[in-house]
Amino acid sequence: MQITGKMLIGKNSVFGLAGNINAIDPSTNQQIEPVFGFATADDVQQACDLAGQAFDTYRETSLEQRASFLETIATGIMDLGPVLIERAAQETGLPVARLEGERGRTVNQLRLFAKVVRDGYFLDATIDSALPERAPPRPDLRLRKIALGPVAVFGASNFPLAFSVAGGDTASALAAGCPVVVKAHNAHLGTAELVGRVIQKAVADCGLPEGVFSMLVGAGSQVGQQLVGHPAIKAVGFTGSRSGGLALVRTASQRKEPIPVYAEMSSINPVFLLDDALKTQTAQLAQNFVDSLTLGAGQFCTNPGLVIAIDSDAARSFLELAGQALEKKQASTMLTPGIHQAYVKGSSHLAEIADLTLVGKGQPAESPCAAQAVLSVCSGSTFLTTAALQEEVFGPSSIAILCKDFNEVLQVSESLEGQLTATVHATAADHDLAKKLLPGLERKAGRILFNGFPTGVEVAHAMVHGGPFPATSDSRSTSVGAKAIDRFLRPVCYQAIPADLLPAALQDNNPLQLARLIDGKLTLA
């Protein structure tokens, strides 16, 4: 498949005329061909209009049709073969093995949502039978969830496949019955076009209305804002920076009809090392922590940006070993020149903070966008009085906090903003302290994990990739895992609707074989 630089608007390929851009190879800072054109306001309008026109048809496709559409996309992505991986590697600087893994995750996500659609639990089918004898009589009441409407998706720079054109936001929105308009990330436009064409073809092959999928190219501050402001768009999925996410939230809330924005933004992912775990596993913890910190040049939303322990010999030994392990780590190429510049700036801001001491650094950077990893340390009281230490530095940078006692550990925990993850390392001997930590972590984080590291987000039914602000703009949801579909649904109640007008999910004979809540009792098919 050839990369053309064109956008995908319904069934058409369109070269945008409002400006243009090339993808950049971050390992060389050289432009990659071809050039991509930016969407005009008319292009945005057309993509949104098509999505609006497709909505009623698409949301009422059968569960089987929608599941099979998702599987067609998954197969199409695998069928692209090495061309996809090669292009993604060139655009992002990410290693081939990592991208192959990410492709696997992407198609698994699509297949998970095919299962979610077939299971139909997301419909929340609920029936309260009529009680004609009651005074006053109760009418027949039935509830199902329906799709919210067309969704605007903004992919992330750091997952060119799994959080991008056919990533979790797109998969869950399509699963819910929502047409999708993607704003392709400018950091991997060729990858975006390849995947976008797979979806465009799947729409046609599955006989769906063309407006089910479009993909636009342009600046977030222009095309992105126009997209979120369009009346046909009814929800937004976004993964990226806090400033980018908040700009979309603002636009969405100022519309004539405000709409929900699911922005996954900023998290520093505290890791708590409790005493006995720290004492008995010092060396292994140090190595595993450094491996997690430097994985993928630290470019994960779940990168461990804080390590918290009570000051002790074991803690100091942990830091020494971590510093040594860090010194062996090669600098890795970051995703874009912009991300690299922000990392260099963020690291040097930290270096200026007086009470923050350098623990160790990775190998110095040679290629233009490579990042040198950094671990620093400060006291609990410094952390509690220095707001700048809570700001995410996107990349392989972390701060260790040595607290004077467990009470200060709790204070540090309470002082944190909302997080995607919180990690605890604990042996059985630490469980009494862990119990005291847990309620606060539940209030702060979407995922709490023990004796592991937060990088690596499993795509499963029980996953939560979300959390209180500013980790996300909406803590009531997850952007990874089966429950991500709930973001794009709303309940509708049908009162005394004649049987021949009822949606299949709510018909008496249960043709979709759904689990349903009938008169307050959960009933399997």
Query: Segment 148-167, which members bind a second copy (CB under 8 A)?
Result: 148-149
CA distance 304 to 328: 18
Stretch that binds a second copy, among 40-48, 309-317, 326-334, 486-494 (CB under 8 A): 486-494
DSSP-derived letter for residue 237 is E
3-class DSSP assignment, residue 391: coil
Q: Cβ closer to a second copy: 136 or 207?
A: 136
Which positions are catalytic?
264, 301
Tokens at 421, concatenated: 């993850």
Residue from 1, 18, 21, 141 in contact with a second copy (CB under 8 A): 141
Peptide bond into 26 cis (omega under 30): no
Residue from 469, 504, 507, 510 in contact with a second copy (CB under 8 A): 469
Cβ neighbours of residue 206 closer than 8 Å, sequence gap 6 or more: 65, 68, 69, 72
Q: Cβ closer to a second copy: 260 or 380?
A: 260
3-class DSSP assignment, residue 360: strand
Q: Cβ closer to a second copy: 145 or 329?
A: 145
Residue from 29, 30, 341, 451 in contact with a second copy (CB under 8 A): 451
Residue from 121, 344, 379, 406 in contact with a second copy (CB under 8 A): 121
Among left, alpha and beta (phi > 0; psi -120 to 50; other), residue 249 is: alpha
Residue from 82, 461, 508, 513 in contact with a second copy (CB under 8 A): 461
Tokens at 218, concatenated: 């342009």
Tokens at 154, concatenated: 């903004």
3-class DSSP assignment, residue 34: strand
Stretch that binds a second copy, among 18-26, 301-309, 365-373, 479-487 (CB under 8 A): 479-487
Q: Cβ closer to a second copy: 229 or 395?
A: 229
3-class DSSP assignment, residue 64: helix
CA distance 468 to 45: 33
Q: Cβ closer to a second copy: 118 or 201?
A: 118
CA distance 178 to 170: 9
Q: Cβ closer to a second copy: 119 or 311?
A: 119
Q: Give the nearest distance from C-beta 481 to a second copy in angstroms.
A: 8
Tokens at 431, concatenated: 């469980």
Q: Cβ closer to a second copy: 354 or 428?
A: 428
Stretch that binds a second copy, among 22-30, 161-169, 382-390, 437-445 (CB under 8 A): 437-445
Region 361-400 residues binding a second copy, contact defined as CB under 8 A: none
Region 234-293 residues binding a second copy, contact defined as CB under 8 A: 249, 253, 257-258, 260
Cβ neighbours of residue 89 closer than 8 Å, sequence gap 6 or more: 95, 96, 99
Residue from 375, 377, 464, 505 in contact with a second copy (CB under 8 A): 464
Q: Give the nearest distance from C-beta 98 to a second copy in angstroms.
A: 13
CA distance 410 to 513: 49
Examine residue 433 and tell whether it contacts a second copy (CB under 8 A): no
Q: Give the nearest distance from C-beta 385 to a second copy in angstroms.
A: 18
Stretch that binds a second copy, among 9-17, 41-49, 311-319, 447-455 (CB under 8 A): 447-455
CA 427 to chain centre: 31
Residue with tokens 């993607």: 182
Q: Give the nearest distance from C-beta 459 to a second copy in angstroms.
A: 10
Residue from 29, 30, 35, 60 in contact with a second copy (CB under 8 A): 60
Examine residue 32 and tell whether it contacts a second copy (CB under 8 A): no
With beta carbons less than 8 A apart as the criterion, state whether 173 and 151 touch: yes
Region 61-120 residues binding a second copy, contact defined as CB under 8 A: 115, 119
Tokens at 213, concatenated: 């999928």
Q: Closest by alpha carbon to 500, among 491, 508, 492?
A: 508
Examine residue 48 and tell whether it contacts a second copy (CB under 8 A): no
